[in-house]
Amino acid sequence: MPDRMKTVIEVKGLKNQFGDQVVHEDLDLTVKRGEIIGVVGGSGTGKTVLMRSILGLQPFRDGEITIFGKPVSGLAEREELETRRQFGVLFQNGALFSTLTVAENIQVPLREFFDMTPELMNEIAAYKVGLVGLEANAGPKFPSELSGGMRKRAALARALALDPRLLFLDEPTAGLDPIGATAFDQLILDLKRTLGLTVFLITHDLDTLHTICDRVAVLADKKVLAVDTIENLIEIDHPWIQKYFSGPRGRAALAAATESPQGR
């Protein structure tokens, strides 16, 4: 397969600036089809801004971004909708509409893009509820009636409503207890395998990085400093990379992943 076909996201020479604060300068990143790419970096290095730029939600100063070969900015309305249909997003707070049930939340993107009968929409919502490992009785519940972990799964079900090929997750395991976080990681891995998803995953969770990410992109010094497997990143002599991956938490996560590999 030519490289062009394997590339899902291409970011070239990206610049983002707010007032005097330059967040990204000449940032490059390529995400390949079928991989889970972890995005890490210190607080404020611009992980969320990068994701929003790729999603076309953040106008950028300079550079080029394409998803499936199409630019994310300057598209005609129809083309933009067509591109948007191909990706699902789970934002940092996983915000579900509190006045809608889980099933109704999942149906929001369906309503936006399709004219479907209520029966078909109910069927699709029920399928997505099962896909993310929620009990069928979660469908008619309101977000406030669910645990934090269940809410994350419900938000993921909504992100998967349109059968995306590409999934964006911003700190999906933040706020979950370790058991819930491990279960969520496993769910992402299962979905990647069964649906053939490409996943762009921002996380601070070292266990997540070790167990499910194929490659990790490190944001530092306003750019993507390196993109590689953790095994290779550890070899790079950069203070933040060393502190992050070879500090006490990094070593513990590595030991745990070596003991019980989930298999990417």
Ligand X SMILES: Nc1ncnc2c1ncn2[C@@H]1O[C@H](COP(=O)(O)OP(=O)(O)OP(=O)(O)O)[C@@H](O)[C@H]1O
The least CB distance from residue 85 to ligand X, in Å, is 25
The footprint of ligand X on this chain (CB under 6 A) covers a number of residues equal to 10
Q: Which of 11, 45, 208, 213 binds ligand X (CB under 6 A)?
A: 45
Q: Which of 7, 17, 30, 48 binds ligand X (CB under 6 A)?
A: 48
Piece of the chain touching ligand X by CB under 6 A; list 2-10, 41-49, 99-107, 173-181: 41-49
Cα–Cα distance for residue pair 229/236, rounded to 1 Å: 11
How many Cβ atoms from other residues are within 10 Å of residue 171's Cβ?
19
The least CB distance from residue 36 to ligand X, in Å, is 18
Piece of the chain touching ligand X by CB under 6 A; list 30-38, 44-52, 182-190, 242-250: 44-52
Cα–Cα distance for residue pair 61/24, rounded to 1 Å: 9
Position 11 contacts ligand X (CB under 6 A)? no
Both tokens of 133, joined, read: 């490992």
Position 261 contacts ligand X (CB under 6 A)? no
Both tokens of 75, joined, read: 């598209």
How far is the CA of 2 from the CAs of 6, 32, 257, in angstroms?
7, 12, 33
Both tokens of 124, joined, read: 């699709």
Cα–Cα distance for residue pair 110/123, rounded to 1 Å: 12
Position 46 contacts ligand X (CB under 6 A)? yes
Q: Which of 6, 28, 44, 147 binds ligand X (CB under 6 A)?
A: 44
Position 49 contacts ligand X (CB under 6 A)? yes
Position 47 contacts ligand X (CB under 6 A)? yes
Cα–Cα distance for residue pair 202/216, rounded to 1 Å: 10
Position 27 contacts ligand X (CB under 6 A)? no
Q: Are the CB atoms for 218 and 225 separated by under 8 Å? A: yes
Q: Which of 8, 9, 11, 23 binds ligand X (CB under 6 A)?
A: 23
Q: Which of 27, 31, 41, 211 binds ligand X (CB under 6 A)?
A: 41
DSSP conformation letters of 76-93: -HHHHHHHHTTEEEE-TT
Backbone angles phi, psi at 8, to 5 degrees: -100, -45
Position 165 contacts ligand X (CB under 6 A)? no
Which residues sit at the interface with ligand X, rule CB under 6 A? 18, 23, 41, 43-49
